[in-house]
Structure 1
Amino acid sequence: MTAIRPLAPADHDAWLPLWRGYLTFYEAELSDEQTALTWHRILDPQFPIHGALATDDAGNAIGFVHWLTHAATWSALPYCYLEDLFVAPDTRGTGAGRALIAHVTGWAREYGAAKVYWLTHETNTTARTLYDRVATGTGFVHYEIGFDS
């Protein structure tokens, strides 16, 4: 059975290979400095970024989720953005992804958020099969304008 718990400082060595696997999956590269900053922000109560770790029956880390909240123009209540979700490839289909989403959803309800939302790549068919079961597709298309650092 999958267990979900908040990320803690001692989880860094278990989280890091999962984080790297997540970046590889999305064919993304981040500097070691950005990865360290992300980790510190997740643990820093001054930042509205939160994280949880999924573990298997043996206590091995098999996935993670990161989320944040923000004010909204269409609601008096804040929104909860599920920014990162990853389950190790060899443990997909075990319910870990569903449990991580349920964890964020429970947290967001308790926090008083109006909704939880997230994005994924259109080719992420395995995850989208789960997402179609637990959430409602909105039909919106994502656009962005990036800036050089």
Structure 2
Amino acid sequence: MLTIGPLEPTDRDGWQRLFAGYNEFYGRTMPPEFFDQAWTRFRRAEEVHALGARLDGQLVGIAHFLTHASTTAPDSCYLQDLFTAPEARGKGAARALIAAVTDWAKERGCGRVYWSTHESNATARRLYDQVAENRGFILYQIPL
């Protein structure tokens, strides 16, 4: 059985394994203090938020998200990180996490939920093309 809900204090180790897997997928390694900082923020649930997907009680997926003001619409919800354990893929966890974030954002009056992914992430894009609209924007960034 698949369930979606807030991360609990006992989820810390499982969450960190999943978040490390997410970062490894994108070729990043994070120092331990980044994990500590993110976990502390999620526990406060003020600036950034997190949900977990559990399959038969086991944490198999995570979603990290935040809201921000918009100049052209109601506030927006940015789905910053989404990751499902390899052994749980294809079982609906990512789809359910996206739906839960969308419900969360609707309850708070947000006008949209959006996210980005690498163009080469074909597996995720197959799902994303089913649940959202690709509006064709290209992401630019300036590392500081």
> Which TM bucket (shorter chain)?
over 0.9
Name the SS of the counterpart of 1:52 in structure 2: strand
- 2:75 corresponds to 1:53: no
C-alpha displacement of 1:43: 1.1
Name the SS of the counterpart of 1:28 in structure 2: coil
- 2:110 corresponds to 1:113: yes
Q: Could you tell me which of 57, 64, 67 is aligned with 1:66?
A: 64
Distance in 2, Cα, partners of 1:122 & 1:92: 19
C-alpha displacement of 1:115: 0.4
C-alpha displacement of 1:8: 2.2
Distance in 2, Cα, partners of 1:99 & 1:84: 14
Q: Residues 18-75 of structure 1: CA distance to partner in whole angstroms, max 9, x if unpaired?
A: 1111111111111111111011111114x32110110102x11110001000000111
TM-score, normalised to structure 2, is: 0.97
How high is the sequence identity, in percent, across the aligned residues?
Answer: 48
Asked whether the equivalents of residues 20 and 30 of structure 2 are also in contact (C-alpha less than 8 Å), the reply is: no
Name the SS of the counterpart of 1:144 in structure 2: coil
Name the SS of the counterpart of 1:112 in structure 2: coil
Where do 5+ consecutive residues of structure 2 fail to align?
A: none
C-alpha displacement of 1:10: 2.0
**CA-atom RMSD, angstroms?**
0.9
Q: Which amino acid aligns with 1:17?
A: R
The alignment of Structure 1 onto Structure 2 pairs a total of residues equal to 144
Distance in 2, Cα, partners of 1:88 & 1:107: 23
Q: Could you tell me which of 72, 75, 78 is aligned with 1:78?
A: 75
Where do 5+ consecutive residues of structure 1 fail to align?
A: none
Name the SS of the counterpart of 2:79 in structure 1: strand
Moved over 3 A (4+): none
